[in-house]
């Protein structure tokens, strides 16, 4: 196959069905493609749903069970299970537009090595005003929203793993996606996911395009459209930021363990960045009537990020095995 569409999934059989149904309507652009479902240790009827849909769909579907829970295990396992030149990652809770495969065309024509497509929200209920303010810039990680307009952008500076086309060989060369997407019980193993992978991609000199026609809709259920959900997401982002900081310390200073000095300086730095971002966010919204509410919410979320950051730093400083997990060279292997 020229392209493999990879969908990691865990316990979302019903919404996965909607994703697979939408793929039936894709324009092929003369591409030969298949879908590869990586079941990340689901306990629902995901396998049965996939087997049933595969008998009715107008495209080939393969199913693989990955026992190690964690999004990067699924993403990286998929690379070993396909020989396609181009791989395209989708989340399991999206609806694709008919021209979505346009993202693979740029790579096929050797214009770039990766393409990120537009990700629009499909709200189950109307979101509150403060949520809409977070989306004003067009990019908002907690809801995986990416809308940079209708023009193609060269040299794009972000990866969103929920809508990403990339050459398979580059994933192997860069030693896989970083850890991401763990259940809360295993949250200390969370990393910086596709963000960390993008830094390696960019450092290696590869090119990424933003292709607006490669559009999808991200289904956002009602239980995510509230402050408690966002607080958890920001807390988890703090863990990811800590992971990134430790790797940078290791790469630059070649530290072999995380010391109290490292953690103190790191947290002070993070607090200063947090305060700067909070002040900037409040100042830029002074013209809005609900600025006080928005400003308070933004401060709450940013301080939840700090809590996650400190939690992770304090765990790594006490756990040598966790430190070596963070600085691991090759996440394509489970060793």
162 and 257 assigned to the same domain: no
Alpha helix segments (H runs only) across 63-137: 71-80, 102-108, 129-134
Cα 234–Cα 238–Cα 239 angle in degrees, nearest 5: 120
Residue 280: pLDDT band with limits 50, 70, 90: low
| 241 in any annotated domain | yes
* Structural domain span for residue 56: 3-224
Same domain, 107 and 184: yes
Residues 243, 198 share a domain: no
Round to whole Å and give the CA distance between 293 and 289: 9
Q: 261, 247, 264, 257: which is closest to 310 by C-alpha?
A: 264
Structural domain count, the chain: 2
Query: Which of 207, 224, 241 lies at the terminal end of a domain, its last residue?
Result: 224
Q: What distance, in Å, lies between the first and last C-alpha atoms of the chain?
A: 29
Helical spans, DSSP H, in 141-290: 168-173, 193-203, 227-253, 260-283
Residue 275 in this model has a pLDDT that exceeds 80: no
Same-domain pairing of 192 and 236: no
Give the pLDDT of residue 286: 47
Check whether residue 292 and residue 204 sit in a common domain.
no
Tell me whether residue 333 is in a domain.
no
Rounded average pLDDT over 204-228: 96
What pTM did the predictor assign?
0.91
pLDDT reading at 166 higher than 80: yes
- Which of the residue ranges 99-103, 267-271, 329-333 would you say has the lowest mean pLDDT? 267-271
pLDDT, residue 282, reads: 56
Q: How confident is the model at residue 251 (pLDDT cuts 50, 70, 90)?
A: confident
- In the prediction, which pLDDT does 70 show? 95
Q: What is the pLDDT of residue 274?
A: 66
Domain boundary among 165, 189, 224: 224
State the pLDDT confidence band at 141, using cuts at 50, 70 and 90. very high
Region 305-334: mean pLDDT is 91
Question: Same domain, yes or no, for 45 and 182?
Answer: yes
């Amino acid at each position: 196959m020229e392209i493999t569409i990879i969908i990691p999934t865990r316990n979302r059989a019903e919404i996965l069905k909607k994703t697979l149904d939408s793929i039936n309507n894709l324009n092929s652009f003369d591409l030969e493609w298949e879908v590869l479902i990586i079941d990340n240790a689901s306990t629902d009827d995901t396998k049965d749903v996939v087997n049933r849909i595969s008998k009715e769909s107008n495209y080939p579907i393969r199913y693989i069970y990955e026992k190690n829970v964690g999004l990067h295990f699924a993403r990286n396992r998929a690379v070993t299970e396909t020989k396609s030149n181009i791989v395209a990652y989708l989340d399991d809770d999206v609806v694709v537009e008919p021209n979505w495969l346009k993202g693979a065309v740029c790579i096929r024509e050797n214009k770039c090595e990766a393409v990120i497509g537009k990700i629009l929200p499909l709200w189950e209920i109307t979101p509150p005003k403060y949520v809409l303010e977070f989306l004003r810039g067009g990019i908002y990680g907690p809801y995986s929203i990416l809308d940079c307009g209708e023009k193609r952008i060269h040299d794009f500076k972000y990866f969103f793993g929920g809508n990403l086309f990339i050459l398979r060989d580059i994933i192997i060369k860069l030693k896989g996606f970083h850890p991401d997407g763990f259940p809360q019980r295993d949250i200390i193993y969370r990393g910086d996911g596709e963000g960390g992978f993008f830094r390696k991609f960019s450092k290696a000199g590869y090119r990424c395009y933003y292709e607006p026609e490669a559009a999808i809709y991200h289904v956002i259920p009602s239980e995510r459209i509230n402050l408690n959900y966002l607080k958890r997401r920001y807390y988890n982002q703090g863990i990811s930021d800590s992971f990134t900081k430790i790797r940078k310390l290791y790469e630059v200073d070649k530290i072999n363990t995380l010391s109290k000095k490292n953690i103190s300086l790191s947290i002070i730095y993070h607090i200063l960045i947090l305060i700067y971002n909070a002040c900037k966010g409040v100042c830029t919204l002074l013209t809005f009537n609900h600025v006080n509410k928005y400003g308070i919410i933004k401060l709450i979320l940013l301080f939840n990020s700090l809590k996650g950051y400190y939690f992770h730093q304090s765990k790594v400083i006490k756990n040598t095995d966790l430190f070596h997990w963070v600085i691991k060279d090759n996440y394509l292997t489970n060793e």
